[in-house]
Chain A
Amino acid sequence: EDQVTQSPEALRLQEGESSSLNCSYTVSGLRGLFWYRQDPGKGPEFLFTLYSAGEEKEKERLKATLTKKESFLHITAPKPEDSATYLCAVHPDQGGSEKLVFGKGTKLTVNP
């Protein structure tokens, strides 16, 4: 069964304190891995798509990396406005299915 596990469930950082969020996945084949940011009461906002091991993508203070078993979302010198829940999802390679499998998310709080 395809699975996505995100850790930690919650993370508190001080402003400027860099850290990483983890997304471990088990799939029969990977068409893509996605990171989203979700603010309370809002829909998820797309951040990155990664397709193959070794791939990295950056956006402002965020950098996503991918291996064959996991992905990391690195946050460098975070600011309070980076506080949100970060969701990871995988698109398994299952004969044309469009289903994404989501993790439960990591709730990030950045204190000033």
Chain B
Amino acid sequence: SQTIHQWPATLVQPVGSPLSLECTVEGTSNPNLYWYRQAAGRGLQLLFYSVGIGQISSEVPQNLSASRPQDRQFILSSKKLLLSDSGFYLCAWSVSETQYFGPGTRLLVL
């Protein structure tokens, strides 16, 4: 069966520091991969998605970036965090219409 992992589970970072969140998927090949952010009182917001290695589509212009160095690995990065980057970050995968989510990373920028 398929499994999706995210780490770390929780992260507290100072403003201006770099960020790297990692997501890996097991048990499937060539998945579509997604990064979402969920802020309190708002719906899930799609940040990036990838249909293959090195192929990244950005949905929201911001100081975040994404990379897909391997088929089942998706990384969310920032060179300098802003206060507004705080939130709950979710990775998801799909091979058809349905997207399946990981456990999430809670990021607090102070």
Residues of A within 8 A of B (CB): 4, 31-32, 34, 36, 41-46, 49, 51, 87, 89, 91, 98-105
Contacts and interface: CB of A to CB of B under 8 A. Distances in A.
A43 B59 contact: no
A99 B44 contact: no
A65 B59 CA distance: 30
A4 to B, nearest CB: 7
Contact of B44 (A32, A91, A98, A102): A102
Contacts of B32: 98
Given A44-B44, A51-B97, 20 more contacts: A4-B43, A32-B97, A41-B104, A41-B106, A43-B6, A43-B102, A44-B90, A44-B101, A45-B101, A46-B98, A46-B99, A46-B101, A49-B97, A89-B44, A98-B34, A98-B94, A99-B59, A100-B44, A100-B46, A101-B43
Interface residues of B, number: 23
Interface string B23-38: 0000000001010000
Interface string B1-32: 00000100000000000000000000000001
B84 to A, nearest CB: 19
Contacts of B49: 98-99
